[in-house]
Chain A
Amino acid sequence: MKFKLHALAAATTLAMTPVSQAADVEVLHWWTSGGEAASVQFLKQQLEGKNVGWTDFAVAGGGGESAMTVLKSRAISGNPPTAAQIKGPSIQEWGELGFLASIDDVANAADWDNLLPSVVSDVMKYNGEYVAAPVNVHRVNWLWANPAVFQKAGATIPTTWDDFMLQAQKLKDAGFVALAHGGQAWQDATVFEAVVLGVGGADYYQKAFVEGDMAALNSDTTVEVFETFGKLRQYIDANSPGRDWNVATSMVINGEAGMQIMGDWAKGEFKVAGKNVGTDYVCVAAPGTSGSFTFNVDSFAFFTQSDDAKSAAQGVMADAILSTEFQEVFNLNKGSIPARLSMDRAEFDSCAHDSMDAFIASSQTGGLVPSFAHGMAVSEAVAGAIYDTATNFFNSSDSAEQGAKQLVAAIAAAQ
Chain B
Amino acid sequence: MFKYLATHLPKVVLAPTAIVMLVCMYGFIGWTAGLSFTKSRMLPQWEFVGLTQYEKLFSNPRWMVALDNLLIFTLLFIFISLVLGLLLAIFLDRKVRGEGVIRTIYLYPMAISFVVTGTAWKWILNPGLGLEKLAHDLGFSNFEFRWLVDQDMAIYTIVIAAVWQSSGFVMAMFLAGLRGVDDNLVKAAQVDGASVIQTYWHIILPLMKPVFFGAVVVLAHIAIKSFDLVQALTGGGPGYASDLPANFMYTFAFSRAQMGLGAASAMVMLGGVLAILVPYLYSELRSKKS
A241 touches B256 (CB 8 A): no
Q: Does B184 belong to the interface (CB within 8 Å)?
A: no
How far is it, in angstroms, between the C-alpha of A90 and the C-alpha of B238 when the chains are bound?
A: 28
Q: Does A239 belong to the interface (CB within 8 Å)?
A: yes
A241 touches B255 (CB 8 A): no
Mark A272-316 against chain B: 1 for CB-CB distance below 8 A, else 0. 000000000000000000000000000000000000000000000
> Which stretch, B101-109, B146-154, B165-173, touches the partner chain A?
B146-154
How far is it, in angstroms, between the C-alpha of A296 and the C-alpha of B147 when the chains are bound?
A: 35
A406 touches B256 (CB 8 A): no
**Which residue from A93, A391, A395, A414 sits with its C-beta under 8 Å from B42?**
A93
Determine the chain B residues whose CB is within 8 A of the CB of A379 once the complex forms: 41, 257
Q: Does B62 belong to the interface (CB within 8 Å)?
A: yes
12 example contacts (A-B, Cβ-Cβ < 8 A) are as follows A90-B42, A93-B42, A183-B238, A185-B237, A185-B239, A239-B126, A384-B252, A384-B255, A391-B238, A391-B240, A393-B239, A406-B61
Interface residues on B, range: 20 to 34
Interface residues of A in 49-83 (CB under 8 A from B): 62, 65, 68-69, 72, 75-76
How far is it, in angstroms, between the C-alpha of A184 and the C-alpha of B62 when the chains are bound?
A: 16
Closest B-chain residue to A389, C-beta based? B61
Q: A240-B149, A241-B148 are in contact. Are A392 and B239 (CB under 8 A)?
A: yes
A239 touches B257 (CB 8 A): no
Chain A residues close to B by CB (< 8 Å): 62, 65, 68-69, 72, 75-76, 90, 93-94, 97, 183-185, 188, 237-242, 379-381, 384, 388, 391-396, 406, 410, 413-414
How far is it, in angstroms, between the C-alpha of A93 and the C-alpha of B251 when the chains are bound?
A: 18
Closest A-chain residue to B133, C-beta based? A239
**Which residue from A62, A76, A239, A242 sits with its C-beta under 8 Å from B43?**
A76
Q: Does B177 belong to the interface (CB within 8 Å)?
A: no
B241 touches A413 (CB 8 A): no
Q: Binding site of A, secondary structure by majority: helix, strand, loop or mixed?
A: helix
A242 touches B62 (CB 8 A): no
B127 touches A239 (CB 8 A): yes
Add 7 more A-B contacts to A242-B122, A388-B240, A395-B151 (CB < 8 A): A183-B149, A183-B238, A238-B128, A238-B149, A381-B256, A391-B240, A392-B62
How far is it, in angstroms, between the C-alpha of A75 and the C-alpha of B149 when the chains are bound?
A: 39
Q: A388-B240, A395-B239 are in contact. Are A69 and B254 (CB under 8 A)?
A: yes
Determine the chain B residues whose CB is within 8 A of the CB of A184 once the complex forms: 235, 237
Determine the chain A residues whose CB is within 8 A of the CB of B258 once the complex forms: 380-381, 384, 414
A396 touches B256 (CB 8 A): no
Closest A-chain residue to B62, C-beta based? A388
B240 touches A396 (CB 8 A): no
Q: Binding site of B, secondary structure by majority: helix, strand, loop or mixed?
A: loop
Determine the chain A residues whose CB is within 8 A of the CB of B44 once the complex forms: 76
B43 touches A75 (CB 8 A): yes
Determine the chain B residues whose CB is within 8 A of the CB of A183 once the complex forms: 149, 237-238
B43 touches A72 (CB 8 A): yes
A48 CB to closest chain B CB (Å) equals 33
Determine the chain B residues whose CB is within 8 A of the CB of A242 once the complex forms: 122, 148, 234-235, 237-238
How far is it, in angstroms, between the C-alpha of A184 and the C-alpha of B238 when the chains are bound?
A: 8
Q: A72-B42, A72-B43, A395-B241 are in contact. Are A380 and B148 (CB under 8 A)?
A: no
B239 touches A380 (CB 8 A): no
How far is it, in angstroms, between the C-alpha of A41 and the C-alpha of B201 when the chains are bound?
A: 70
A381 touches B41 (CB 8 A): yes
Determine the chain A residues whose CB is within 8 A of the CB of B59 once the complex forms: 413
How far is it, in angstroms, between the C-alpha of A130 and the C-alpha of B62 when the chains are bound?
A: 38
Mark B229-248 against chain A: 1 for CB-CB distance below 8 A, else 0. 00000110111110000000
Determine the chain B residues whose CB is within 8 A of the CB of A93 once the complex forms: 41-42, 257
A356 CB to closest chain B CB (Å) equals 32
